[in-house]
Amino acid sequence: MNQASTNLAEVVLPNNEHASGAADCGKVRVILVDNHPMVRQGLAQLINEEADLCVCAQADNAMTALELIESTDPDFAIIDISMNGMDGIQLIKELKIRRPELATLVLSMHDEALYAERVIRAGAGGYITKEEAPAKVMHAIRRVLGGEIYVSENVAARLLKSVRGKRSENAVTPLGRLSDRELQVFREIGQGYSIREIAEKLYVSMKTVETHRDHIKIKLNLKNSNEVLRYAVQSGMNGE
């Protein structure tokens, strides 16, 4: 397969040719949505080696992914969380409205304890980290394609307690009190971006970002912006 390039959405056929339409590979068709070209390349190679799967499209951002999903009609989507503009969680929510039949799996480097429940609530079929072995990633893909939810045993136990109504307010972590958008802003702050840069990345106004930051301070009981940054770094939000 040709190497994916940054800021380029590709439609990839099994014979290494590119096409703009929804060519039929005769297999379960997968779209990859990740802003890291090397991750997409590795995933595409892994998936295309399977007898019944093929990568039909790749995108490095959510808006391009939505366009490609309309034109290529995939059966399955593998989505990262961190992207400019609409992040992975927002993309999953949008897909639940537009394409509720499309199975989705989140593949991310972020802490499963913080994000897995969020993506399942958003409508994803599973969550797995990029640190896992390729065989485990394929296992997760198969589980979600089979109509199951794939998460770790610890997350599954928490989800079950939540469904049964046994989770107390005390069981919610401080970061768990943040909305999905607030957590996205908190993550960008932890990576050292300024308010202006965050606004540009998320395609919103600086005032909107400042409002989210104020809500974060209140929910996390932090006094000022320096404390927000410090807490974000301590929480591991400075990873990409």
**Quick check: helix, strand or coil at residue 104?**
strand
CATH H-level superfamily of 28-163 = Response regulator (3.40.50.2300)
Where along the chain do its domains lie?
A: 28-163, 173-234
pLDDT at residue 24 in the model: 59
**CATH code of the region 173-234:** 1.10.10.10
pLDDT at residue 191 greater than cutoff 50? yes
pLDDT at residue 5 in the model: 34
For residues 129 and 114, is the Cβ–Cβ distance under 8 A?
A: no
pLDDT at residue 163 in the model: 56
Region 218-240: mean pLDDT is 83
CA dist., res. 215 & res. 234, Å (int): 19
For residues 35 and 60, is the Cβ–Cβ distance under 8 A?
A: yes
pLDDT at residue 13 greater than cutoff 70? no
What does pTM read for this prediction?
Answer: 0.73
Q: How does residue 22 score in pLDDT terms, banded at 50, 70 and 90?
A: very low
pLDDT at residue 4 in the model: 36
pLDDT at residue 201 greater than cutoff 50? yes
Nearest one of 60, 46, 52 to 8, comparing CA atoms = 60
Question: Residue 232 is which amino acid?
Answer: A
